[in-house]
Structures are given as C-alpha cells and as structure tokens.
Amino acid sequence: MISLFFLIINKVIIIYVLLLCSTYLILFILAFMRLKREKGLHQIEQYKRLKESAFTAPISILVPAYNEEVGVVNTILSLVTGTGRLDYPEFEVIVINDGSKDSTLQKTIDRFDMTVLKNKVIHKSFGIETKPIKNVYQSTIYPFLFLIDKENGGKADALNAGINFSKYPYFASIDGDTILDSDSFLKIMKPIIENTDDEILATGGNVLIANGSKTSLGKVNEMLLSKNPLVVMQVIEYMRAFLIGRIGLSNKNLLLIISGAFGVFKKSRVVQVGGYLTNTIGEDMELVVRLHRKNIEENWGAKIEYVADPVCYTEAPDSFKILKTQRVRWHRGLFESLWAHRKMIFNKNYRSIGFIAMPYFFFVEFLGPIIEFFGYVSLIINITLHNINILYSIAFLILMIIYGSFFSVSAVLLEEWRLEKYKKISELNRLFFYSLTEAIWYRPILTYWRVIATFSIFLGQKKGWGEMKRKGV
C-alpha cells in the first residue's frame, strides 16, 4: 500500500514538473522570437527622435524611501546630475520619505539643498487617502526635485502620496536604492510614445543587480559580478525572470507583475482604480492585476507592455537571512494578489488573463514550490525506506536540472546576446558555472522558504515588510 501511494505521488510530481518545463520552454521560445525580432531596432538615433518628439509625454518619477540612507543619494544623483542625468525632455523627481528612522531625510535635504515649500496643497488632491504629510521640500539646485516627508504608512502609501503630488500624466515608480541608465526612460516610454492606436496602461523594464559593480555619482560605470555566490545566483535568477518569464508573458498581454524597482504607469487610470492598496505587501503585482481586471470589465482596450532594453540597477540581499525575508514577503504578496482577484481564475469573462495568466501564477509560481518540495521529500523518504524507484529518481533529477540549470544558462545567453552588459569572459564563465549549480543548492533553499511562506499564510500568521539592511553598491 505504501509503495502504491508513493508511486502515485511520484507520477504526479513528475507530470507536474514536466508540464512546468514545457511551460518555461514555451516562454523561452516566445522571448527568443521577440528579442530576435527587436534586436538592432533600438538604436541611439531612434531615441534621439523620441526625445525631440512632441508626443513624448512628461513623467513624474516617484522614489519611495524608507531607511535608505545608504543608497538614496546615489539614486537621486542618477536621475538629476552629471553624465548619469536622465536623458529625457521633461520630468520631475519626487522622493517620498516614509517616516524613515535613519538619516534618509537629512541626507537628502543636505545633499540637494532642500527648502520647505509653503502653501503647497497636495494631500487628497486626487482623492487617494494617505498618512499625514509633515513637509514638502524643493531643491534649490534642481528645481524639478521634490521631497515629501510623511508619517510611515508603507511603500504603497508613500507612492499614493507621490501620485497626489505629481503633475504629469505618467508616473514611474522606482525603489530608493535603484540606479538608472541615462536613457532608461526614453526606452521604457517608447511603447507609450509610438503606440498611438492602443492605450498603454503601464510598462515594465529590465532590472539588473549592481552588487560588485563599479559605480560613481549615481552611475554604473562597469558591470561586475559580486564575489558572493548568493548574489551571483540572484543575478542569474533575475535574468531568467525578466528575460524569459516577463517577455514571454507580455507577448500576449499577460504580464501580471511590473517590478517596483522600475515601472511606468498611466496616472489617470491608476487614480481611477484607487491607487495602490495599502493592506497588501504585494502592492506592485496587485495594482497590475487590478488594472488588467478593470481593463476587461470596462472595455478599455488597453495593454501592459514590457521592454527588455531599459535597464535599472538594484542592490540584492547578500545574506541568507535577508534573502529569506525578501522571498517570504514576495511569496505572501503573490498569494495576496491572487486571493484578492481569485474570481478571475478560470473565469471566461476575463479571457486570456483568466484562463492563462492567473492560472499560471497560481499553479506555477504559487503552488510550484510546494509540489517541488514534496518531490525532494518523496525522494528522501524513498531512499530512507529503501523503496527507491530508480526511474523516478533519475527522471526527477533530470527535470529539476533542466528546470533550474538549463533555463538559467539560456537566460544568461539571452542577456548577453541582447544587452552585452558583462564585458569580461571571466564574468560570463562564472555565470555559466553557477547556472549549472542552481538545482543542487540554490533552488532547493528558495523552495523551502516559499513553502514556509505558504504554511505561514494558511496558519494565519501576519508578516510585515521586514527590513533589508543596505550596504550600497
């Protein structure tokens, strides 16, 4: 009886992982076809034309910051000054200090010579409730740079405060430790500027990890890998997630996640759906899902795009403790977004979003770690009870290597073929080497953490954002 039970479990796990690999293969093919089609199209001359075009809409850049004293100045510098200054015709930068306990506020005020604005009405100007605003500052050096100091309400509340203050039709949300390339916004706004037939609700961009790279004055001068294997694995993971997963899904307007590190939204539509929700830790995904939902329910006929070229750089966790906190939070945020919009799953009224995108994120991204975890557990139990099924063991291990390592290697190849950010052969060799080790140690650890997150959800445990100690890049 026990043997029959494990035989059934083993077959279910093998079938699931096989379907998982097939899904990623489809996404890889879609991503490769699109990247091949677009390679060579994004030339400097095209972006110069976009910069000079009358259709290039001005943009408000929102930078929510909570305890970002290490990275916030570099982030702002990458937007406003020197060779790293954004190459964009008209924009404003709004930093929102969300009740930081460190010196984020004072460092920003001192570095950019900020003075308090008098008689500036911003609270509830768009009807989005936020925590009270203490003061609003403007830089005397860069008049387009503003600082909102408010009571702590979380990232979503900070972004809503920024939306209330902003004056332009599109806003960008970037993290407080993010560094941008000077042409990032010309690239990410390209679909919005050029697509005059379809309304674009939002666009997302590619995110790279800057740990170990050479930076100065808010600009990444040379992409280098960190010496920390944990960070290198995250570099590879980001490549796979952004280049394979998000490009593949965005081909059919199925993208449900735009990274909080780098994304642009149409302000009027975001205000129309109520802004960011403050009762979820997955506010980025939840907003995108809600925009998709309203788009279908109210027949807006709009799209959400993803652009591979725009690049921003962020600092990744460099310890297991901080990485665990981040991934548990991400997984809980994923569940909260799916649960809030659960009526969309397999609902024909929501078309491909309901039948493809939502089920994908539920069965692959949310439930996937649980199935994968039981695969490892089943393998260990079989070995312990001397009930080993050689065929199952070989099949499971091969599929996990394909799922983990093969697609990671493929992502590295796509990244370098498309962006060519890592110039040194030694860096590429390290990426390929660590890609081959993913299924052995990195992926099982992530799987375990996500299973912990899943059980904490069903046990009703409440978790906040947690804090990530920045060291600076």
| Domain around 387 | 1-41+198-472
- Mention every residue, 6+ apart, whose C-beta is less than 8 A from residue 423: 222, 223
d(CA 34, CA 37): 5
Inter-residue contact 259 to 251 (CB < 8 Å)? no
Cα angle 25, 31, 36; round to 5:
125
Q: Report the pLDDT value the prediction gives residue 449, as an integer from 0 to 100.
A: 96
Give the residues across from 265 on adjacent strands: 171, 202
Give the tens place of pLDDT for each residue, 286-339. 999 999 999 999 999 999 999 887 678 899 999 999 999 999 999 999 999 999
Q: Report the pLDDT value the prediction gives residue 277, as an integer from 0 to 100.
A: 95
Question: Given a cut of 60, is residue 121 above it in pLDDT?
Answer: no
Give the tens place of pLDDT for each residue, 133-173. 999 999 999 999 999 999 999 999 999 999 999 999 999 99
- Number of domains the chain is built from: 1
Phi and psi angles of residue 169, each rounded to the nearest 5 degrees, phi first: -70, -20
In a domain, 206, yes or no: yes
Question: Given a cut of 60, is residue 125 above it in pLDDT?
Answer: no
In a domain, 346, yes or no: yes
d(CA 86, CA 77): 10
In the block, tokens 């009930």 appear at 387
124: pLDDT confidence band, cut at 50, 70 and 90? very low
Give the tens place of pLDDT for each residue, 57-70. 999 999 999 998 88
In a domain, 87, yes or no: no
Cα angle 39, 241, 311; round to 5:
50
In a domain, 320, yes or no: yes
In a domain, 152, yes or no: no
Give the residues across from 139 on adjacent strands: 114
In a domain, 450, yes or no: yes
In a domain, 49, yes or no: no
Query: Which has the higher per-residue pLDDT, 464 or 240?
Result: 240
Q: Report the pLDDT value the prediction gives residue 469, as an integer from 0 to 100.
A: 62
Give the residues across from 65 on adjacent strands: 97
d(CA 378, CA 380): 5
In a domain, 64, yes or no: no
Could you tell me the two tokens for 284?
Answer: 């980025």
